[in-house]
C-alpha cells in the first residue's frame, strides 16, 4: 500500500474550527422523569396546576379561626371545643365554627371555616376541649394553594439541566415525561489487529494488547453529555474498516475512531474518509495528538483520534469534549485551574503546541509544586498519575525550574496528595499507603527515586538495598525501615536444585532480572561482584555467563511471573512474592528497605502519618517472609 505523508499541519485553532463546523446535535426526545437526570430541557415548562393544590397545614396542631385566639397567652388561654380531626391524605366534611377547633396533621387539608392553625406545642388538651396558649393571625402556619407554584407560572426554562432539585419540582407538578435534547450518539471504534477487549485472551507473543481506548473514550463521551456506542474493533484491513465506519456513521451523530490515523502504510482510515467521505483536516500541530483527522462520512461527523491512549484522551479532552457539551446543551464547566511552580525543568521540541500531563505536590510551606509525569503517549499511567495539564506554546522549548505555571485540572475536585512517595516497588509499602488518606506512591525504582528526591519533587523516597554513597547531597531524614528476604524465585519444589548465584553462572538456566533502577538489582550486583572476587575473575565474565542477566523487568512481581508461566528457570525476587505465587525460593539474604523524607517536609501532616504507619510495622513478620 502506498505510504501517504501528512498534509500541512493545522493549528489547534483550525482544529477547533473544523470540529465546530460539524453538526453533532441529536434532535429532541421525550424521556420518563426517572431517566431525566442530567438531561437538558428544550422548551419552557409551565405549571399546569397549583402546588399545593389546596390550603394545607404546615405542622401538627389545631385548625381554628384566628379571631378566637385574640389575646390568648400562657396565663389566659382561649378555650375551644374540639369538633373533629383531619389527617394528611384524608377528605373531610367538618366545618370550623366560632369557638371550635379541629385536630390537624402536617400536610392535611384545612377544613372549611378555619383560617389559621396553632402548633400542638402551644396547646393543652382537656377532654373534648383544647386550650390555645398563643394568639395567631389569619394565614399563620397555613400554606395556601399555589403558594409553592401557581398554575400557569413558569416552572423551568429551556436549557435547564435537570438535577435532583428539578426532578423534585417536576414531580410536584405531576410531570411524567420531559422534552429534552437528545444526547449526541457517538460511535466508538478502536482499530488495529493487535487489540483485544478486556475479558478476552491476550497473546503477548503476537503483540496483542487490551483495548484501552474504547472504554476510556466512552467514559469521556458520557461525561460530556453524549451517548457512547461501542462497535467491534476493526482490524487494519481497509474493506473491514470501511464497513464498520459506514455502519457507525449510519447509526450515530459522531464517529470517533482511535488508531490508524498516522502516515503509516498500514494506517488506512484517512484513505477511507478521504475517498468515501469529506476529509476536512489531517494532522494538527500539537503534541501529543499530531495525527488527528476531522471529516464527514455519510452525513455523520467524524473525528479520528491517535492510537496511543494518552494522545487519544488528550485530543478528546481538548477538542472533542467541548463540541459534545455544546451539542448536548451542557455548559462548559468552569475551567478549574490551580497556579503552581514548576518543580523541575521541562524541555520540549519547538514547532508544536504541547499538552503536558502534570502531577501536583505541596511543599512544607503549602506552595503547590508542579512536575511533569509524561511517560510517553503509549503509557496509560501518564493520565492515571496526573492531576491536570499545562500547555506549552509551540515557540517555547524550555521551562526552567521555579517557573510559574497554571494547571488545568482534570477535575475541579482534584487536590494534591497528602503525601507523595516515589522509589522502590515493594509490597510492604503498598500495604502502608493503603491505610493513608489520599496518598500517591509511584514505584519508579530506588535510583530514580533518589534522583527525584534530590530535585526536591516528592516528599519521601523508598530505597532498597545498600545506601552507602547513593544518598549523597540529600538532606533527608529516615522515617522508618524494614527488612525483606530476597533471592531467586524458582519453580515449586526447586526442581533444578538451585543453591545460589553460582548455579546461574555454571549451568544452562534461563534467568530473569530486575532493571538497574531496582534495589534488588543493586543487591544482586553486590553478590555477583563477591562471586567474581572469590573466583578472581572480572565481574563482566560472571554476568555474561548468566543467561538473561542484562534483561530486566521493572516491577518486583514481573520476573517471578515468568517462572510461573514456565518461561524462565529462575528470577530475581522476594520470598513474599514466591509464597504468594506458590513458587519455590532460594534465599540470598535480607535486604534493608528505608523510607527517607526531605528534612524540611518531615512536619507535613501526610509525612507524619506515614511515619506513624511505619512505626507499626511488624519487623519480625517481614524478615521471615
Give tens-digit pLDDT for 246-257.
999 999 999 998
Rounded CA-CA distance 399/341 in Å is 11
Angle at 20 between CA 5 and CA 239, to 5 degrees: 45
- Asked if 145 and 214 touch (Cβ cutoff 8 Å), the reply is no
- Asked if 351 and 394 touch (Cβ cutoff 8 Å), the reply is yes
pLDDT score recorded for residue 262: 58
Burial status of residue 434 (CB atoms within 10 A of its CB: 0-12, 13-18, 19 or more): exposed
pLDDT score recorded for residue 545: 95
Rounded CA-CA distance 473/343 in Å is 18
pLDDT score recorded for residue 335: 62
Q: Which residue has cell 482544529?
A: 15
Burial track 115-151 (b if 16+ CB lie within 10 A, e otherwise): bbbbbbebbeeeeeebebbbbbeeebbbbebbebbee
Mean pLDDT lowest for which of 159-168, 267-276, 384-393, 563-572? 267-276
Q: In what order do the strands lie in the sheet with 61-64?
A: 116-119, 61-64, 100-104, 78-86, 129-132, 123-126
User: With 90 as the cut, is the pLDDT of residue 592 above it?
Assistant: yes
Rounded CA-CA distance 212/197 in Å is 8
User: Region 343-347: what's the mean pLDDT?
Assistant: 83
Percent pLDDT > 90 in the chain is: 57
Question: What pLDDT band is residue 624 in, cutting at 50, 70 and 90?
Answer: very low
CA 624 to chain centre: 38
pLDDT score recorded for residue 34: 92
Rounded CA-CA distance 478/499 in Å is 34
User: With 80 as the cut, is the pLDDT of residue 326 above it?
Assistant: yes
User: With 90 as the cut, is the pLDDT of residue 264 above it?
Assistant: no
User: With 50 as the cut, is the pLDDT of residue 625 above it?
Assistant: no
Domains of the chain are 12-25+184-328 (3.40.980.10), 28-51+148-181 (3.90.105.10), 56-143 (2.170.190.11), 337-416 (2.40.340.10), 427-624 (3.40.190.290)
User: Region 466-479: what's the mean pLDDT?
Assistant: 73
pLDDT score recorded for residue 265: 40
Q: What is the pLDDT of residues 507-560, one digit of tens each?
A: 999 999 999 999 999 999 999 999 999 999 999 999 999 999 998 998 899 999
pLDDT score recorded for residue 344: 85
Question: What pLDDT band is residue 314 in, cutting at 50, 70 and 90?
Answer: confident
The alpha carbons of the chain give a radius of gyration, in whole angstroms, of 35
Question: What pLDDT band is residue 106 in, cutting at 50, 70 and 90?
Answer: very high
Q: What is the pLDDT of residues 188-207, one digit of tens each?
A: 998 876 777 777 887 777 77
User: With 50 as the cut, is the pLDDT of residue 3 above it?
Assistant: no
Residue 549, CB half-sphere, CA atoms under 13 Å: how many? 19
The mean pLDDT value of the chain amounts to 88
Question: Facing residues of 593 across strands?
Answer: 464, 482
pLDDT score recorded for residue 375: 59
pLDDT score recorded for residue 306: 87
pLDDT score recorded for residue 384: 73
pLDDT score recorded for residue 381: 61
Cell of 119: 402548633
pLDDT score recorded for residue 623: 43
Q: Which residue has cell 517481614?
A: 622
First and final C-alpha spacing in the chain: 57
492: helix, coil or strand?
coil
User: Region 86-108: what's the mean pLDDT?
Assistant: 93
- Asked if 456 and 367 touch (Cβ cutoff 8 Å), the reply is no
Question: What pLDDT band is residue 266 in, cutting at 50, 70 and 90?
Answer: very low
Q: What is the pLDDT of residues 63-77, one digit of tens each?
A: 999 999 999 999 999
Helix (H) or strand (E) holding 605: helix 605-615
DSSP β-ladder status, 177-181 and 28-32? antiparallel
CA nearest to 256, candidates 17, 22, 604, 561 = 22
CA 68 to chain centre: 64
User: Region 235-252: what's the mean pLDDT?
Assistant: 84
Q: For residue 431, how many other CB atoms are within 10 A of its CB?
A: 11
Question: What pLDDT band is residue 4 in, cutting at 50, 70 and 90?
Answer: very low
User: Region 353-368: what's the mean pLDDT?
Assistant: 90
Question: Facing residues of 515 across strands?
Answer: none
Amino acid at each position: 500500500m502506498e505510504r501517504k505523508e501528512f498534509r500541512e499541519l493545522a493549528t489547534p485553532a483550525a482544529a477547533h474550527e473544523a470540529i465546530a463546523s460539524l453538526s453533532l446535535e441529536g434532535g429532541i426526545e421525550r424521556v420518563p422523569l426517572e431517566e431525566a437526570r442530567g438531561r437538558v430541557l428544550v422548551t419552557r415548562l409551565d405549571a399546569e396546576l397549583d402546588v399545593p393544590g389546596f390550603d394545607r397545614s404546615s405542622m401538627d396542631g389545631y385548625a381554628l379561626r384566628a379571631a378566637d385566639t385574640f389575646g390568648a397567652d400562657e396565663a389566659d388561654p382561649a378555650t375551644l371545643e374540639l369538633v373533629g380531626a383531619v389527617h394528611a391524605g384524608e377528605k373531610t366534611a367538618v366545618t370550623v365554627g366560632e369557638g371550635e377547633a379541629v385536630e390537624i396533621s402536617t400536610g392535611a387539608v384545612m377544613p372549611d371555616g378555619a383560617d389559621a392553625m396553632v402548633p400542638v406545642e402551644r396547646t393543652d388538651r382537656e377532654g373534648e376541649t383544647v386550650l390555645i396558649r398563643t394568639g395567631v393571625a389569619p394565614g399563620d402556619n397555613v400554606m395556601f394553594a399555589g403558594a409553592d407554584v401557581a398554575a400557569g407560572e413558569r416552572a423551568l426554562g429551556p436549557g435547564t439541566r435537570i438535577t435532583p432539585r428539578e426532578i423534585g419540582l417536576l414531580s410536584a407538578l405531576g410531570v411524567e415525561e420531559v422534552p429534552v435534547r437528545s444526547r449526541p450518539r457517538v460511535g466508538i471504534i478502536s482499530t488495529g489487529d493487535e487489540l483485544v477487549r478486556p475479558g478476552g485472551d491476550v497473546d503477548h507473543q503476537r503483540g496483542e494488547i487490551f483495548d484501552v481506548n474504547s472504554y476510556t473514550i466512552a467514559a469521556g463521551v458520557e461525561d460530556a453529555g453524549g451517548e457512547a456506542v461501542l462497535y467491534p474493533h476493526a482490524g487494519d484491513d481497509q474493506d473491514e474498516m470501511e464497513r464498520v465506519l459506514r455502519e457507525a456513521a449510519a447509526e450515530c451523530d459522531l464517529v470517533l475512531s482511535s488508531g490508524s490515523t498516522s502516515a503509516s502504510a498500514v494506517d488506512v482510515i484517512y484513505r477511507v474518509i478521504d475517498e468515501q467521505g469529506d476529509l476536512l483536516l489531517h494532522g494538527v500541530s500539537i503534541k501529543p495528538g499530531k495525527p488527528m483527522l476531522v471529516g464527514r462520512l455519510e452525513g455523520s461527523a467524524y473525528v479520528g483520534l491517535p492510537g496511543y491512549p494518552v494522545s487519544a484522551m488528550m485530543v478528546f479532552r481538548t477538542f472533542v469534549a467541548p463540541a459534545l457539551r455544546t451539542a448536548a446543551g451542557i455548559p462548559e464547566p468552569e475551567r478549574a485551574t490551580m497556579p503552581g511552580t514548576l518543580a523541575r525543568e521541562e524541555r520540549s521540541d519547538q514547532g508544536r503546541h504541547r499538552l503536558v500531563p502534570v502531577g501536583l505536590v505541596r511543599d512544607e510551606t503549602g506552595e503547590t509544586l508542579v512536575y511533569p509525569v509524561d511517560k510517553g503517549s503509549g503509557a496509560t499511567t501518564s493520565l492515571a498519575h496526573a492531576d491536570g495539564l499545562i500547555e506549552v506554546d509551540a515557540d517555547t522549548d524550555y521551562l526552567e525550574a521555579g517557573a510559574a505555571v497554571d494547571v488545568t485540572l482534570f477535575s475541579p475536585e482534584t487536590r494534591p496528595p497528602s503525601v507523595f512517595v516515589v522509589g522502590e516497588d515493594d509490597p510492604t509499602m503498598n500495604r502502608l499507603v493503603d491505610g493513608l488518606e489520599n496518598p500517591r506512591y509511584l514505584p519508579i525504582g530506588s535510583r530514580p527515586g533518589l534522583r527525584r528526591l534530590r530535585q526536591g519533587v516528592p516528599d519521601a523516597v523508598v530505597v532498597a538495598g545498600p545506601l552507602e554513597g547513593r544518598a549523597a547531597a540529600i538532606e533527608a531524614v529516615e522515617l522508618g525501615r524494614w527488612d525483606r528476604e530476597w533471592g531467586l524465585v524458582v519453580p515449586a519444589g526447586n526442581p533444578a536444585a538451585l543453591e545460589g548465584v553460582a548455579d546461574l553462572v555454571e549451568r544452562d538456566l534461563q534467568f530473569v532480572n530486575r532493571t538497574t533502577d531496582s534495589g534488588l538489582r543493586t543487591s544482586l550486583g553486590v553478590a555477583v561482584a563477591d562471586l567474581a572476587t572469590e573466583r578472581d575473575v572480572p565481574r563482566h565474565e560472571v554476568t555474561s555467563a548468566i543467561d538473561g542477566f542484562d534483561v530486566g523487568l521493572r516491577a518486583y512481581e514481573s520476573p517471578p511471573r515468568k517462572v510461573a508461566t514456565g518461561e524462565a528457570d529462575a528470577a530475581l525476587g522476594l520470598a513474599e512474592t514466591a509464597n504468594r505465587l506458590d513458587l519455590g525460593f532460594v534465599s540470598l539474604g535480607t535486604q534493608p528497605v528505608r523510607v527517607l523524607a526531605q528534612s524540611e517536609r518531615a512536619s507535613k501532616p501526610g509525612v507524619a502519618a506515614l511515619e506513624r504507619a511505619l512505626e507499626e510495622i511488624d519487623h519480625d513478620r517481614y524478615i521471615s517472609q
